[in-house]
Structure formats: C-alpha cells, structure tokens
C-alpha cells in the first residue's frame, strides 16, 4: 500500500499522516490476519423488502470489532440494502420494511423501543457521492454532528474538528481555510471531509457504501490507506463493487447475490480458495 | 442534562411534523367551506330557467343567466382563436429551434414575464386597442383581452411538452427521410398532442374564470348578444354585478352563477388532467 | 405503361432504367429545405408575436397614462387625494392598500405554504400526499370572483362576528380598532392568503424536490431527527428558491382584483387599522374604469395600472431568477 501511494503522490499533498506504529501490509492473495476480537455486529436472519419486492433473504453473519469487513457482489445483489440496515437507513425509504434482528454489542438495534436517531449517532455512514452540506463551511460540516447533539462551546468544537480532520487525513490540506465552502474541495477531499464529519461524533462503527466509486485512483488510494489506519480504532464495513479494493483493505469479505449471502470468509481465503462455486465464478469474472 | 436535551430534540421533531400536518389540514377548511356554500346556496336557483332565461329587469325576481353562459362560451372561443395559434407555434419554435440564441431566450423570458401581468392591466390594453378604436364595448374586445392572457400560458406549456418528446423519435423520423418540418408537425407534436391539449385546456379554464379584464371590454349585456360586435354578458361579470347589488334575489342568483362557473372550470380542469394521464402512458 | 414511363422521367430515371443520382437528390433536397425554411420562419414569426405583445402592453399602458403622467408627474406617487370631479389624482391610498393586503397575505400564507410543501415532500406517507396535493390544486383553480362571493357573504360576516372582536380584545388599537364591518384590509389579506397558498406551495415543492436525496441521508446518518435533517439538508440549501416562490406569490397577490374588491371595502383611505375599509390599485381600476367620465380620470386609472404592472414585473423577474438559480445549483453540484 505504501509503495502505491508514494508512486501516485499528488504534487502538493503532505506526507502520510504522522503515525508511530507501522501500517500492516496486506498483499492480495495472502491470508489476511483476522483480529480475533469481540463480535461487534451480529446479523440474525435479516430480510428486507421494498414494498412487495424482497431485497434480502435471511442474511446471517457476524462481524468482529476493529476489523474491516467488505461486502461484494454484482449490482442489485442487496449489499447496499444490507449495509443500510446497520444504521437503520433502510426504513427511511417509503414502503420499506424488514424482519430479523441485528445486534450491536448484544442489543437489537431494530428493537421497537430503540430510537433510530440514537443508533445513527453511534454508527456513521459515508455515501457513494461525496456530499458535504452545500451551504456549510468545512468547519461547519465537520461540526454538524456535534452541534446536533448540543455542543456549543467553540473551543471544544475546534478541538474536535481538528481531531476529526486529522483522523481523516485531511487536516494539513484544509487547516488554513476551514471557513471555506465544503463544496469547493476536490472529490477525494470532499469524501475525506465526509469521513471526518462522521468520525467527529465519537463512533465505533463506520459504514461505507461504495465510498470510492466516484473518485479518481489517487483519491481512492488515499482513502484505502485511511481505512487501514482507521480500523485500529473503528469497526468498518465497506460495500464495494471493486474486488481488488476488497482484497486490499478488508480482513473478511461477504459475497452476496440476488439478496442472499453466498459466502462469508477471511478475505485471503475468499479470493484464493472460495468454497462456493458462485463466489469463484464472480471473482474470476464469469459474471457480474 | 443530556437526556433532557435528547428528549427535547424528539419533541421538537414531533411538534414540527404536527405543525406541518396541521398546515395541510388547514388548507382543507376554506376549500370545504367554499364548496359547501357555493353548492348549497347555488342549488336553490339551479333550474332550467337559469340556463335559458334572460335576467329579469332590475328589482323584479326571476330570470336567469342564459345570456351570460352563452357569453362566457363565446368569449372563451374568441380567446382561443387568438391564444391557441400564437401560443402553439411560439411554443413549437422555442422547443425546436430555441435551444440557444438570444431571440429564443428573449421570447421565453418575455412569456414568463407576461404571465405575471395582472389581468386587469391586460384589460386596459385591450380597451385601448379595441374598444377605443371601435367606439364601443364588444365581445371581440373581451376575447382579445382573454386571448392575450392565454398566449404566455399556452406558449410555455407547449414548449415544455414538446421538449419532453425524446430525441429518438425525431431521429427515427428524420432517418426515414421525412423532412424536418413534417417531423415536427406530424411526429413530435402529434406525440405531444395530449400534453399540449392539457395545457390548452388549463388555460381555457383559467380565462373562463376571469372577470377583471371583461369589465371594460365585453362589459355586460342584459340581452342576448346579437353579434360579437356588441357588449356581451359573461358568467363572471354577472356574478360580480349581482353580488354587489342590494337585491337578495340577485344574491341568490349570484351563488347559482358561481356554482355553474365552478362546474365549468373544474370540469375543464379534470378533463385536462385525465387527458394528461393518458398522454404519460402514451410516452411509455 | 406510358404513365410509368412518365413517372420515371419525373423522378429522373434515365433511358437505361437506372435513376440518375444527381437529379434525384437535388430535387428532394430543394423541396424539403424550402419546407423547413418556411416552417421555421412561421414559428419564428409567432414567437415574435409574443415579443410584440409585451411591447404592445407596455406601449399602450404608457400611452394611455401619458396625460396623467404629464399633469401630475411624481406627485402622483405621493398624493393621497383621489377626486374625479376636481380631477385631482394621487395613488397613495391604493398603493398602500395593495401593499398592506399583499404583505398580510404573505405573512399568513408563507409559513402555511412551507408547512404544506414540507408535508408533501418530506413528511407525509404516500397515501396522504395525493389528497392534500389535490386540495391545493383545486384551490388554485377557483375563479377569483367565486372567492370574492364567498368572501363577501361567508368570510366577512365570520370575521365581523368572531375574529375581529378577538383581535380588538387581544391586540387592540391602533391595529385592531372598531368599527368592523368585516369588509376590511384584514379580510382582504386573509382571502389573498388562501389564493396565493397554492403558488407558494407549488414552487416550494419544486425547490425542495430538487434537493438531491444524498444530503437528506447524510444528515439522517449523522443522527439528526427528521426535522433537523430537513433544516440542515433541505431548507438551508433552498433558501433562495423559497424566497423566489414567495415573491411570485406576492406578485399574484398584488395583481389580484375581484376577490379583493369584493371584501376590502373600497374606501381610498390610508390607515394602519387593519379592520378599516381600504382600497387597492386593481380594485379602483375595476370599479371606476368603465364609468370614468373624463379623459384625465381614465389616464389616472391607466397610470395606476402602469404602476401596478411595473411593480409586479420587477418582482416576477427577480423571483424567476432566484428559483432558476437555486434549481440550477443543485443540478450543477450533482451533474
């Protein structure tokens, strides 16, 4: 990863964020070291519908904390629907419904007494299209989530904003222009701004729905590097249609097809020796 | 403290949602009241005589608004003679030839601006142009005033509808060797026919309900207008005249006139919407 | 046989039986091109008529108000007297009535219209949207004189009996002072509010629906409540467009004639008492134009019309600009 970034370095970008511990090198093809941590997300027989059309069929899997889990599959396989279930965004669509349970650290987030606003505060999401709020400055964008929760103290806000921008590897590039419009940044910077915005509110889980689809290769590489950094503190779930990306950043990968979970395994094993024929067909490019 | 704050956020969310729903509900009230009153008050004189008789002399009861109903139909017809051709062809121009260029932009801008001109001002213009030159009020003057109002409306709706026809239909026709002008008329406009008709119908409904410009163009007439060259009664002006009069009988007839007017306008509107629904299906 | 031969020659088919390419193509080209040119010209002409209409409106208005413009000049804008007999004319009471009733209508209709359009675009389940949208559309279709009739015989008495007394008690003079007949600036403002509600609702809807969904979702994903997400993602971004919609509503209110003249009392007086009778620019033209005795009277009325048109024109131009700019901004940001 480091070599690739060095080769594709943007002329005026700063060096990789200062970091004491060496970044773990994960080369595609090698068995990824899976952090044997506690179960963070436990999906139990989850199904989802958009009105009459069924999108997910009894999906069950568990994700460990501080790991990156990738969800791959062809268009329409339900990977976005699944990830959007984790922060209860699925229900914001008119006519959407679901069955099953999704436990976060043991508690069912789909429970009747659970406030979706609470869930979304603890679980952040980055979307495919980088979407900093158009009328807000960089600072206001990052502070948005904090202000929603009542934080008013300017000094505290400034501290948190700086921390989040550092965490998202964007601080050096914007520190002199925090008052400038968020929309004035480049696509890759906007996406990192959205990541900072999500991180600012003390999350433990970060969901990423095809975060690099709309970005150029250099920005993509930067964000992938960022993901590998972030996983030291956060549980990350990333939906991607790019298998190589899944291989680069994730410890585990889930392969979905037509709303069903086909295979879920350690990334290294999944890409070199998949158990299911469908997985193998997809990975080798026979369809999708 | 943080718990109260979160609870407050939830309350605000619910209150705002309730306020918005309340606003939506509030919209029903004046409409319901109006429809109820017009119907209940208007039905009392809703009879055959109303549609066929002339107004009774001042102070006497009875009579009807037959001439006013015919008058409205006449005026709308005259208006469409002016408004439809101009609006249609101007709209086609804008849609087919008006993608760039200052002239097209100016025409479009002007049409938008003209649709904001108060109808009474249009009446003054028609008065100066027609009534003053003819020396008397007439249905022609009223029709022209209403026609002037129709032009910007029909232009814009025609443009929007013709623009919606996909490029593929035009290209298919041109590829067959059909000249461009035939393509536009016989293929594109024909496909957009329903939508254009909707726009025309809506503008007809609009001018049928107009009063102000008629007050000093078509003026009014207690008798059947012999020709469009004479002052002509209209449903709208008659309702107005009766409403502000001191006679109870005339008030009652004003309600009936309003009922008939409402029925005409709303049924044209409904027809327009039905026509449009069919057209969207055609495009698919 | 001969007919066929003549057809062949007509179409440029030579003796050998093959069509000669040059003549075939050039004939066809000529006719089609001519047809195209004529058609384009015809439509261009009609489009030009639209421009002509605008020029005509401006010209005729100016022409008919020239005598008054010449006689009164700028004093027309500041004089309060309106005396057809002595031929002294000033526009102040009418401008006041028009502006006051329209602004009152705005104050009432804007929050309601925003609430309804938010209800329709953000909050309501699908089933509830249709009837509400339908009601708003019907409100827009009702003719002005029918509103006026209802205003005169239903709303005005209601105001006089139930609402005005409340106003007099709660707020009192100078804004709510007796006597109240129900025919007043206040009633006119309310009926105008009902009439411009569909305009504000429809245009706000257009602007809200143009906001890309990803902003709403970003706000929700941050842990915002529905209302907070609307504030952050929708309202803040569409401010300019909403203002444009409100301005168009104002424009409609300014030009409204029949409903206003039937409930405003038609007294050319300036008073901050909302319960007092008043007048408006459109109403005075409606009432007096057909019976105007002198040429100067007609000219003065025409000048009022000119004034009215100028105000609504400027307002409409600004409004369209704002709405266009807002919806363009969203298209630009999200390609």
Please compute the mean of the pLDDT values over residues B106-135 and round it to a whole number: 92
Contacts of B148 in chain C (CB under 8 A): 53, 57
Q: Which residue of C has its CA nearest to B137?
A: C290
**Which residue out of A121, A133, A151, A239 would a mutagenesis test of the C interface target, given it has the greatest number of C Cβ atoms within 10 Å?**
A133
Categorize the per-residue pLDDT at A8 as very low, low, confident or very high, splitting at 50, 70 and 90.
very low
Query: What does the pLDDT average to over C175-199?
Result: 91
CA distance C117 to chain B (A): 8
How much is the average pLDDT of B198-206? 93
| Of A262, A255, A268, residue with least CA distance to A73 | A255
What is the mean pLDDT of the segment spanning A51-80? 91
Answer whether A117 sits within 8 Å of C225, measured CB to CB: yes
Contacts of C257 (CB under 8 A, 6+ apart): B118, B119, B120, B211, B212, C144, C282, C283, C285, C286
How far apart are the C-alpha atoms of B210 and A234, rounded to whole Å? 66
Which letter does DSSP use for residue A10 in this model? -
Tell me the pLDDT band of A35, cut-offs 50, 70 and 90: very low
Q: Is the CB of B162 inside 8 Å of chain C's CB atoms? A: no
Question: How many whole angstroms from its chain centre is CA B47?
Answer: 26
Cβ contact C221–A124 (<8 Å): yes
| Cα–Cα separations (whole angstroms), residue B143 to B35, B204, B265 | 29, 12, 17
A198 vs C contacts (CB less than 8 Å): 221-222
B212 touches chain C (CB under 8 A): yes
pLDDT score for C13: 45
Retrieve residue B221's tokens. Answer: 């007439």
Contact C220 A89 (CB under 8 A): yes
d(CA B81, CA B79): 5
Domain positions in chain C are 73-333
The answer to whether B120 faces chain C, any CB pair under 8 Å, is yes
Between CA B258 and CA C145 the distance in angstroms is 8
User: What's the confidence (pLDDT) of residue C155?
Assistant: 95
**DSSP string of A198-240, one letter each residue:** HHTT--SEEEEESTTTTS-HHHHHHHHHHHHHHTTTSEEEEE-
| Nearest-5° Cα angle at A237, A232 to A239 | 135
By CB atoms closer than 10 A (0-12, 13-18, 19+), residue C242 is buried
Per-residue model confidence (pLDDT) at position C332? 62
Question: Which residues in chain B are contacts of C227 at CB distance < 8 A?
Answer: 12-13, 16-17
**How far off is chain A from C321, nearest CA to CA, in Å?**
19
Q: How far is CA C148 from CA B121, C156, C227, in A?
A: 19, 10, 37
What's the pLDDT score for residue C214?
92
Residue A278: is its pLDDT beyond 60? yes
Average pLDDT of chain A is 84
Of A135, A136, A201, the CB nearest to C222: A201
More confident residue, B79 or C36: B79
Q: Which of residues 43-82 of B touch C (CB under 8 A)?
A: none
Under the banding of pLDDT at 50, 70 and 90, the label for residue A17 is very low
Strand duo A235-239 + A205-209: pairing: parallel
Task: Provide mean pLDDT across the span A55-83.
Answer: 92
pLDDT digits (tens, 9 = 90+) for B222-252: 888 888 888 999 999 999 999 999 888 899 9
Which of C65, C149, C225, C295 to substitute to test the interface with B, most B CBs within 10 Å? C149
The dihedrals phi and psi of C74, each to the nearest 5 degrees, come to -75, -20
Identify the H or E element spanning C254: helix C239-255
From B127's Cα to the closest Cα of chain C, the distance in A is 9
Mutate to test the interface with B, among C258, C265, C288, C307 (most CBs of B within 10 A): C258
CB distance C120 to C205 below 8 Å: yes
A147-199 pLDDT, tens digit per residue, is 998 888 999 999 999 999 998 989 999 988 889 888 889 989 999 999 999 99
State the DSSP H helix or E strand holding residue C24, giving kind and residue range, or none if neither: helix C21-72
Per-residue pLDDT, C335: 41
Q: Do C232 and A120 touch (CB under 8 A)?
A: no
A109 vs A120: CA distance, rounded Å? 10
Q: State the burial class of residue A44 (Cβ atoms within 10 Å of its Cβ: 0-12, 13-18, 19+).
A: middle
Nearest by CB to C222, which of A95, A120, A135?
A120
pLDDT in tens, B246-261: 888 899 999 999 999 9
> pLDDT by residue (tens digit) across A197-247?
999 998 889 999 999 998 999 989 999 999 999 989 999 999 998 888 999
The arithmetic mean of pLDDT across residues B186-196, rounded, is: 84
B5–A117 CB contact, under 8 Å: no
pLDDT grade for C8, boundaries at 50, 70 and 90: very low
Once rounded to an integer, what is the mean pLDDT over residues C218-235? 92
- Residue B264, CA distances (Å) to B73, B236, C66, C194 in order: 10, 12, 40, 21
Average pLDDT taken over every residue of chain B: 89
- What is the per-residue pLDDT for B164? 86
With tokens 């105001």, the residue in question is C159
**pLDDT for A228:** 92
User: What's the CA gap between A40 and A61, in Å, rounded?
Assistant: 11
Q: Taking a C-beta distance cutoff of 8 angstroms, is the pair C199, B27 a contact?
A: no
**The tokens 């222009």 sit on which residue?**
A177
**Mean pLDDT (whole number) for B3-25:** 90
Residues from A contacting C (CB-CB < 8 Å) are 87, 89, 92, 94-95, 117-118, 120-121, 124-125, 127, 129, 131, 133-136, 144-145, 148-149, 183, 194, 197-198, 201
Q: Do B5 and A115 make contact, defined as CB atoms within 8 angstroms?
A: no
**What's the CATH fold of domain C73-333?**
MetI-like fold (1.10.3720)
Which residues of C64-168 form beta strands (DSSP E)? 82-83, 88-89
Checking if the pLDDT of C3 tops 50, the result is no
H-run or E-run covering A57:
strand A53-64
- Cα B258 from Cα B235, distance rounded (Å): 8
Q: How many Cα atoms sit within 13 Å of B134 on the Cβ side?
A: 18
Under 8 Å between Cβ of C208 and C118: yes
Structure confidence at residue C51 (pLDDT) = 93
Q: How confident is the model at residue B181 (pLDDT cuts 50, 70, 90)?
A: confident
DSSP state of A169: T
- pLDDT higher than threshold 90 for residue A7: no
* Virtual torsion, Cα A10, A14, A16, A19, nearest 10 deg: 180
- Give the closest-approach CA distance of B284 to chain C in angstroms: 22
Furthest-apart CA atoms within chain A: distance in Å: 56
Q: Where are the alpha helices (DSSP H) in chain A?
A: 2-7, 79-86, 116-122, 138-148, 154-167, 171-174, 187-199, 217-230, 243-249, 267-272, 277-283
Name the pTM for this structure. Answer: 0.84
pLDDT digits (tens, 9 = 90+) for B27-72: 889 999 999 999 999 998 888 888 888 888 877 777 888 889 999 9
pLDDT averaged over chain C?
86
What dotted CATH number matches A38-131+203-283?
3.40.50.300
| Residue C178 falls in which region: left (phi positive, over 0), alpha (psi -120 to 50) or beta | beta
- For residue C125, what are the contacts with CB-CB under 8 A and spacing of at least 6? A94
Mean pLDDT of A12-26: 38
pLDDT at A4: 34
- Whether A117 sits inside 8 A of C223 (CB atoms) is yes
Percent with pLDDT over 90 in chain C: 50
Residue B280, pLDDT > 60, answer no
Does A144 sit within 8 Å of C232, measured CB to CB?
yes
- Contact at CB, B10 and A150, closer than 8 angstroms: no
The pLDDT, as a whole number, for residue C1 is: 42
């Amino acid at each position: 990863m480091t070599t690739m970034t060095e080769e594709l370095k943007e002329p005026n970008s700063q060096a990789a964020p200062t970091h004491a511990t060496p970044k773990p090198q994960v080369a595609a093809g090698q068995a990824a070291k899976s952090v044997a941590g506690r179960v963070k997300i436990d999906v139990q027989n989850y199904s989802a519908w958009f009105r009459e059309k069924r999108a997910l069929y009894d999906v069950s899997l568990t994700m460990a904390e501080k790991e990156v889990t990738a969800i791959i599959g062809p268009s329409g396989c339900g990977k976005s629907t699944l990830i959007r279930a984790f922060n209860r965004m699925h229900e914001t669509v008119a006519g959407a419904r679901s069955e099953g349970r999704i436990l976060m650290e043991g508690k069912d987030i789909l429970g009747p007494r659970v406030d979706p606003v609470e869930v979304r505060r603890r679980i952040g999401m980055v979307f495919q299209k980088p979407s900093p709020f158009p009328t807000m400055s960089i600072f206001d964008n990052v502070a948005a989530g904090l202000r929603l929760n009542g934080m008013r103290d300017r000094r505290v806000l400034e501290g948190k904003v700086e921390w989040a921008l550092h965490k998202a590897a964007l601080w050096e590039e914007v520190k002199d222009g925090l008052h400038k419009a968020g929309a004035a940044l480049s696509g890759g910077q906007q996406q990192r701004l959205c990541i900072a915005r999500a991180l600012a509110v003390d999350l433990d889980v970060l969901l990423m729905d095809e975060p690099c689809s709309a970005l150029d290769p250099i920005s993509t590489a930067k964000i992938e590097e960022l993901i590998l950094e972030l996983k030291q503190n956060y549980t990350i779930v990333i939906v991607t249609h790019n298998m190589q990306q899944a291989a680069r950043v994730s410890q585990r990968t889930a392969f979905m097809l037509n709303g069903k979970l086909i295979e879920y395994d350690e990334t290294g094993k999944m890409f070199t020796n998949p158990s299911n024929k469908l997985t193998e067909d997809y990975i080798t490019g026979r369809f999708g | 403290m943080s718990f109260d704050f979160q609870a407050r956020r939830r309350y605000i969310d619910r209150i705002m949602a309730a306020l918005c729903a309340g606003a939506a509900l509030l919209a029903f009230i004046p409409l319901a009241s109006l429809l109820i009153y017009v119907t209940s008050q208007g039905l009392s004189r809703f009879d055959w005589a109303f549609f066929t008789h002339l107004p009774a002399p001042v102070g006497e009861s009875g009579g009807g608004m037959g001439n006013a109903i015919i008058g409205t139909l006449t005026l709308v017809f005259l208006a469409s003679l002016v408004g439809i051709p101009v609006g249609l062809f101007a709209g086609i121009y804008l849609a087919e030839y008006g993608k760039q260029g200052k002239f097209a932009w100016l025409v479009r801008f002007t049409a938008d601006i003209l649709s904001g001109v108060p109808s009474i001002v249009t009446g003054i213009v028609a008065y100066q142009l027609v009534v003053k030159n003819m020396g008397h009020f007439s249905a022609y003057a009223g029709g022209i005033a209403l026609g002037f109002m129709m032009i910007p409306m029909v232009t814009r709706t025609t443009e929007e509808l013709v623009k919606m026809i996909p490029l593929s239909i035009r290209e298919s026709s041109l590829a067959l060797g059909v000249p461009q002008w035939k393509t536009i008329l016989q293929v594109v406009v024909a496909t957009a026919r329903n939508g254009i008709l909707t726009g025309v119908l809506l503008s007809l409904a609009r001018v049928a309900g107009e009063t102000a410009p008629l007050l000093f163009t078509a003026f009014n007439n207690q008798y059947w207008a012999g020709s469009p060259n004479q002052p002509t009664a209209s449903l709208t002006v008659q309702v107005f005249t009766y409403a502000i009069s001191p006679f109870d009988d005339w008030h009652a007839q004003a309600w009936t006139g309003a009922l008939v007017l409402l029925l005409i306008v709303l049924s044209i509107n409904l027809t327009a919407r039905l026509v449009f629904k069919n057209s969207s299906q055609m495009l698919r | 046989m001969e007919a066929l031969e003549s057809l062949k020659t007509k179409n440029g088919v030579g003796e050998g039986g093959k069509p000669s390419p040059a003549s075939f193509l050039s004939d066809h080209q000529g006719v089609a091109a001519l047809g195209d040119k004529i058609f384009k010209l015809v439509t261009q002409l009609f489009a030009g008529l639209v421009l002509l209409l605008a020029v005509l409106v401006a010209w005729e208005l100016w022409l008919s108000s020239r005598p008054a413009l010449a006689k009164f000049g700028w004093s027309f804008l500041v004089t309060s007297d309106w005396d057809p007999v002595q031929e002294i004319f000033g526009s102040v009471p009418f401008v006041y009535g028009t502006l006051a009733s329209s602004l009152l209508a705005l104050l009432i209709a804007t929050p309601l219209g925003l609430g309804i359009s938010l209800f329709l675009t953000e909050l309501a389940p699908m089933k509830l949207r249709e009837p509400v949208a339908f009601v708003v559309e019907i409100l827009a279709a009702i003719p002005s004189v029918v509103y006026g009739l209802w205003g005169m015989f239903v709303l005005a008495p209601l105001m006089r009996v139930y609402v005005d007394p409340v106003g007099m008690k709660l707020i009192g003079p100078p804004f709510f002072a007796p006597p109240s007949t129900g025919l007043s600036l206040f009633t006119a403002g309310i009926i105008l509010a009902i009439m411009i509600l569909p305009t504000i609702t429809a245009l706000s809807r257009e602007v809200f629906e143009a906001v890309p969904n990803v902003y709403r979702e970003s706000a929700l994903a941050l842990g915002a409540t529905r209302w907070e997400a609307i504030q952050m993602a929708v309202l803040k971004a569409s401010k300019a467009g909403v203002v444009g919609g409100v301005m168009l509503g104002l424009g409609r209110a300014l030009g409204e004639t029949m409903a206003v003249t039937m409930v405003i009392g038609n007294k050319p007086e300036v008073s901050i008492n909302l319960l007092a009778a008043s007048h408006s620019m459109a109403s005075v033209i409606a009432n007096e134009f057909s019976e105007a005795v002198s040429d100067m009277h007609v000219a003065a009325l025409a000048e009022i019309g000119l004034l009215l048109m100028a105000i609504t024109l400027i307002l409409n131009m600004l409004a369209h600009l704002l709405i266009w700019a807002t919806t363009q901004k969203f298209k630009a940001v999200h390609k």
